């Protein structure tokens, strides 16, 4: 990216990178010359992505649980024509899922925390860098407890 002119090196490490044709300081901090527009991707429907959209919380009782203890619930049960889609599947804990059973939320007298929709984005897996673990040359670019998004 440096040779294509897409990034500028702002800080370098002291060691040099060598190849047959080039020798350069190892870049430590680079700046993108042009803002890279993120493509709006359609987020694929999956169990894991439903849990991410719902913040790993049961959409009926709001309990926060690890993925291993969450289930997916069809808001309108499949037996009543409900589809397996972003608009009809939510994260639910086991007890709420069993309590709701083969009924709609209204029939089960249970309410959803929010109406499920296809998400435009999902929380990214951030790499948290504390001031101790960040390389020296990065520190001035990191706010305290700053987060660098993993690419």
List residues near Zn ion by CB under 5 A.
58, 60-61, 93, 96
Residue entry with tokens 């350069």 = 24
- Candidates 149, 141, 135; CA nearest to 36 is 149
The nearer residue to Zn ion, 68 or 133, going by C-beta atoms, is 68
Q: Tell me the two tokens of residue 39.
A: 């493509």
CB 53 within 8 Å of CB 45? no
Q: How far is the CB of 83 from Zn ion (least distance, A)?
A: 22
Q: How far is the CB of 47 from Zn ion (least distance, A)?
A: 16
The nearer residue to Zn ion, 47 or 139, going by C-beta atoms, is 47
Q: How far is the CB of 58 from Zn ion (least distance, A)?
A: 3
User: How many CA atoms, within 13 angstroms, populate the side-chain half-sphere of residue 86?
Assistant: 12
């Amino acid at each position: 990216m440096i040779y294509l002119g897409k990034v500028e090196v702002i800080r370098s490490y002291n060691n040099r990178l060598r190849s047959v044709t080039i020798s350069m300081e190892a870049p430590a901090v680079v700046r993108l010359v042009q803002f890279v527009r993120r493509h709006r991707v359609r987020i694929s429907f999956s169990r894991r992505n439903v849990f991410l959209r719902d913040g790993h919380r049961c959409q009926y009782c709001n309990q926060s649980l690890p993925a291993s203890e969450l289930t997916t619930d069809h808001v309108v049960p499949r037996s009543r024509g409900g589809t397996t889609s972003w608009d009809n599947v939510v994260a639910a804990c086991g007890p709420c899922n069993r309590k709701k059973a083969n009924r709609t939320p209204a029939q089960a007298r249970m309410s959803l925390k929010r109406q499920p929709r296809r998400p435009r984005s999902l929380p990214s897996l951030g790499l948290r860098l504390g001031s101790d673990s960040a390389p020296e040359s990065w520190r001035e670019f990191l706010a305290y407890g700053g987060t660098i998004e993993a690419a």
